[in-house]
Amino acid sequence: MTTNSFDLIIIGGGPGGYVAAIRAAQLGFKVACVEKNNTLGGTCLNEGCIPSKALLNSSEKFAELTENNLQKIGVNFKGLSLSIDKMMNNKNDIVDGLTKGIDQLFRKNKISRLFGTGTISKPGEVIIQNGKDKGKYNCEKIIIATGSEPISIPGIEIDEKKIISSKGALELNKIPKKMLVVGAGYIGLEMGTVWSRLGSEVQVIDSLPRILPGMDNEVASKFKTILEKDGIKFHLNSLVKSIKQDKSSLKISLTDSESKVHSELNSDVVLIAVGRKPYNESLGLEKLGIQLSKIGRIEVDKKFQTNIKGIFAIGDVIEGPMLAHKAEEDGVAAVEIMAGIAGHVDYGLIPGIVYTNPEVASIGRTEEELKNIGKSFNKGTFPFLANSRARATGDTQGFVKLLADSKSDKLLGAHIIGSNAGTLIHEIATAMAFGASAEDIARTCHAHPTMNEAVKEAALSLGSGAIHI
């Protein structure tokens, strides 16, 4: 039987919430985690990061075979076929295994899992409005970790059938002949890539003149060229005015924001991927007087505490990138500070990764940001085409780009497009966390042949020059 009194109650069992719960339990807190869904892990694990990566992996392997990329290395095959059902079952099995893993971690750390929708009635009191654990619970501290939800375009309703969010894109039971993606950010490009590889005719619309806003422009431009070569079409500087259901398809009306020219596209499915907003409904924030920003995020201090003593917030509901790993860092830091430990998150060193093929990864400042603030810097690049391991595996698209202070040589930013960019970026993240210079990386021995040598060569190019180009 669950007790009704705790040291800490966390509302939300996503990456921020469940990680905060585990860390708090490790530090000796008596912890409960309130989650309204049947499984823990939040959007990321259940309908975001993990299932999308499973489909990206499956679709990449399928595309590698259909495009005959293996025949040139002597791998021949016959009778290639695709089972969407099996692909989706594999995705679901992965998610199921990981959610059960979190349940086991909760049992191991003696964390109380409370089912239902949590409302903060007052500081130190949480009421679960429904579910099997309906009731009133007392605590010393509360963490809000309710995450975010997709937003749509004004006047357009997401029905998860024809007009879908990322959740719907992960659950399609057949390959649409045509897919229109609204939004050229992380989510839109990842999901667009999945269905393009599986045979959909994919077009991407965005109101901005470029893809991947916030990422380095040189990298984004190269990535767009690669995606276009793979068959994805782009309509940039374009605004969606309406989406109407016809007998057999959807009619999408567009307006070019510069020329004001109107056009119309047809599609079987429209994926809306224009961003997310904090999910803070049913929490009772207004009644409590908790301060929100203009865009609805909960305002917190350096200790993650709101303007109400004893109530804290982490993850997507506060400022910063809406990324699972950022939420996890928030959660660990928040409970460590509660325990008297010097918890800390360096928001300047949060990696951003697009898990396509090739991958795109970024950390620190972009070239455009440094120019805007008048920071003097040097740029070093190295193409994977000149990397031995990349040549051996056929992964020669893209490059490594490092930015360093022109006086101190301290690393200011790194941007990679290429195979396993999401893994390579962490070498640079660690270096930057310790205040390393480009020379520090250049003088570190890198095993041969590895993709990491491209990072070393980019660092060398900031000094006396790269060796292999």
| Alpha-carbon span 38 to 104, nearest angstrom | 15
As to burial, measured by CB atoms within 10 angstroms (0-12 exposed, 13-18 middle, 19+ buried), residue 399 is: buried
Q: Give the number of other CB atoms < 10 A from CB of residue 84.
A: 13
On the 0-12 / 13-18 / 19+ scale of CB atoms within 10 A, 373 is exposed
Query: d(Cα 177, Cα 201) in Å, to the nearest integer?
Result: 6
Q: Where are the alpha helices (DSSP H) in 373-416?
A: 388-393
User: Is 179 in a helix, a strand, or coil?
Assistant: strand
Handedness of CA 448, 449, 450, 456 (dihedral sign): positive
72's CB contacts (< 8 A; 6+ apart) are none
Task: From the candidates 262, 344, 426, 448, give the one annotated as an active-site residue.
Answer: 448
First to last CA, the chain: 67
Nearest to 448 by CA among 456, 458, 440, 436: 456
Question: What value, to the nearest 5°, has the Cα angle with vertex 60 and ends 54 and 65?
Answer: 135
Burial 85-118 (b: 16+ CB within 10 A, else e): eebbebbeebbeebbeebeebbeeeebbbbbbbb
What 3-state class would DSSP assign to 425?
helix
H or E element in which residue 177 lies: none
Verify whether residue 448 is a known catalytic residue: yes
Token reading at 416: 């990679």
Question: What is the residue whose two structure tokens read 């996890």?
Answer: 328
The pairing of strands 238-245 and 135-144 is unpaired
List of residues 6+ apart from 283 with CB closer than 8 A: 11, 118, 119, 120, 144, 146
CA dist 356 and 396 (Å) reads: 15
Residues labelled as active-site residues:
448
